[in-house]
């Protein structure tokens, strides 16, 4: 099992290219199920989750062609020959549940494994299923599978989401593109990745308005056609490397980074004393003074993203004064706290909040990754710590970050991947 060895204490300086967004790319690949034409995606992130999604689409019978040979561009589309998404693939990646809506819309039936729980929380799919039932689907849960049919086809209706769920919004949005009549999704999630999905679907012939407003209006069409779409830059990757500049006292140019996509993350960085500017090439992030403690609460977009919580916690562990992070999205997303405390951090968890009392320095230690974002929080801590940090179970990291050790080493980090 691979691990990283990090020898900290070096400020990072240089350039890092921000790749395509994981949280957009996965859903855009699923959109390929909606057409017999060819959906061409460029700026595809070369990460493990993309490979898993490719495997899922292929077993549905859809052709997935690597256009460049390096996994950065795919052509997706064709006839669907299998409407079942099996447990052995869905269990690897929760985004697999998003094939449910497109399969129903195009084929009138789908059998998709329930994803179950995951390390950071349960993330139930109730809203997906209730929303699809509102659109005319008949759903039965049997043997750990969702068995869904739409005997009369999906029919547009008004769906009110009790929570601005990203996954439910995306599933219903894709399903509604081929439904009869008009669908209105109220309290829709407003994340930039959903805007990217809307732009792609409209390029394929969908009729969707209201992106970013919290209410999406979808006029169903009979068929969608092929299109070409460039996946947006990954705002979470960008924010993560911004934290790397901040925690090491460095100065990084994040090529392709967009301040507007990060919103609350940029404001929080500036509160800690970090300078963030939008430049022609992307974002520049630098820290010249001490970090200051801040209070943060995770919220749906445009609030502070839960996917940046762990990275900020590592950074605030070496900030002056006390900070508090309150997690409102997932109930079990503080599993990195014991590992950070092993490195000398002073963090106490009280229910859904973590109190962080900044320390002068962290110390390298053997630590273990528990989920995707937590794994990078431990890299950040290792970059700032005195001595050597060994991070194991980095397969979590490979799910969502591309060439981490190469990008960091190019900016002066002492980090290496050890195969094992």
E strands in 116-221 = 138-142, 145-149, 158-160, 182-186, 207-209, 215-219
Overall residue count recorded for the chain in this entry: 420
Does residue 118 carry a catalytic annotation?
yes
Starting at the edge strand found earlier in the chain, the sheet holding 73-77 runs 63-66, 73-77, 39-42, 227-230
Compute the distance between CA of residue 143 and CA of residue 159 in angstroms, rounded to an integer. Answer: 28
Compute the distance between CA of residue 93 and CA of residue 79 in angstroms, rounded to an integer. Answer: 24
Compute the distance between CA of residue 173 and CA of residue 101 in angstroms, rounded to an integer. Answer: 8
155: β partners? 180
Compute the distance between CA of residue 268 and CA of residue 202 in angstroms, rounded to an integer. Answer: 34
Query: Rounded to the nearest 5 degrees, what angle is found at the Cα of 272, between the Cα atoms of 317 and 401?
Result: 65
Q: Classify strands 145-149 and 109-113 as parallel, antiparallel or unpaired.
A: antiparallel
Q: Classify strands 63-66 and 84-85 as parallel, antiparallel or unpaired.
A: unpaired
What is the number of other CB atoms lying within 10 angstroms of the CB of residue 319?
Answer: 22
307 is in an annotated binding site: yes
Of these residues, 107, 118, 238, 243, which one is catalytic?
118
Phi, psi angle pair for 303, to nearest 5°:
-75, -175
171 is in an annotated binding site: no
Query: Rounded to the nearest 5 degrees, what angle is found at the Cα of 347, between the Cα atoms of 343 and 352?
Result: 135
Compute the distance between CA of residue 285 and CA of residue 241 in angstroms, rounded to an integer. Answer: 9
120 is in an annotated binding site: no
Prior bond to 302 cis, omega within 30? Answer: yes
Of the candidates 377, 239, 249, the residue with the CA atom closest to the CA atom of residue 313 = 377
Compute the distance between CA of residue 373 and CA of residue 418 in angstroms, rounded to an integer. Answer: 20
Position of tokens 């689409």?
Answer: 57
- CB contact at 8 A, 111 and 85: yes
For the record, the structure tokens of 321 come out as 């004064």
130 is in an annotated binding site: no
What is the number of other CB atoms lying within 10 angstroms of the CB of residue 418?
Answer: 12
Binding site membership: which residues?
22-23, 94, 307, 329
Q: Which residues belong to the active site?
A: 118
Binding site membership for UDP-N-acetyl-alpha-D-glucosamine: which residues?
94, 307, 329
């Amino acid at each position: 099992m691979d691990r990283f060895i990090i020898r900290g204490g070096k400020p990072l300086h240089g350039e890092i290219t921000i790749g395509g967004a994981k949280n957009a790319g996965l859903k855009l690949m699923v959109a390929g199920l909606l057409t017999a034409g060819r959906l061409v995606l460029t700026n595809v992130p070369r990460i493990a989750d993309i490979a898993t999604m490719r495997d899922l689409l292929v077993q549905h019978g859809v052709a997935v062609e690597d256009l460049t040979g390096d996994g950065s561009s795919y052509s997706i589309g064709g006839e669907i020959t299998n409407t079942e998404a099996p447990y052995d693939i869905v269990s690897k990646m929760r985004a697999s549940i998003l094939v449910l809506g497109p399969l129903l819309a195009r084929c009138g039936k789908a059998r998709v494994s329930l994803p179950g729980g995951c390390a950071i929380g349960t993330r139930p799919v109730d809203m997906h299923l209730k929303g699809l039932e509102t659109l005319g689907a008949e759903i039965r849960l049997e043997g750990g599978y969702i068995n869904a049919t739409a005997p009369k086809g999906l029919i547009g209706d008004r769906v009110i989401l009790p929570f601005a769920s990203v996954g439910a919004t995306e599933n219903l949005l894709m399903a509604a593109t081929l439904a009869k009549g008009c669908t209105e999704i109220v309290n829709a999630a407003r994340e930039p990745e959903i805007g990217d999905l809307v732009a792609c679907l409209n390029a394929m012939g969908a009729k969707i308005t209201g992106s970013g407003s919290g209410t999406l209006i979808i006029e169903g069409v009979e068929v969608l056609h092929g299109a070409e779409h460039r996946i947006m830059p990954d705002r979470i990757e960008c924010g993560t490397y911004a934290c790397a500049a901040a925690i090491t006292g460095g100065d990084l140019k994040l090529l392709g980074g967009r301040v507007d996509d990060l919103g609350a993350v940029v404001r929080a960085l500036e509160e800690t004393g970090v300078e963030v500017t939008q430049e022609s090439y992307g974002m520049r992030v630098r820290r010249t003074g001490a970090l200051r403690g801040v209070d943060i609460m995770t919220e749906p977009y445009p609030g502070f993203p839960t996917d940046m919580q762990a990275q900020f916690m590592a950074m605030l562990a070496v900030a002056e004064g006390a900070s508090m992070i309150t997690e409102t999205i997932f109930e079990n997303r503080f599993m990195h706290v014991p590992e950070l405390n092993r490195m000398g951090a002073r963090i106490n968890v009280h229910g859904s909040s973590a109190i962080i009392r900044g320390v002068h320095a962290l110390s390298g230690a053997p630590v273990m990754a528990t989920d995707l974002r937590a794994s990078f929080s431990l890299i950040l801590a290792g970059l700032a710590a005195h001595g050597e940090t060994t991070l194991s179970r980095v397969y979590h990291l490979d799910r969502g970050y591309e060439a981490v050790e190469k990008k960091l080493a190019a900016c002066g980090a002492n980090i290496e991947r050890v195969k094992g």
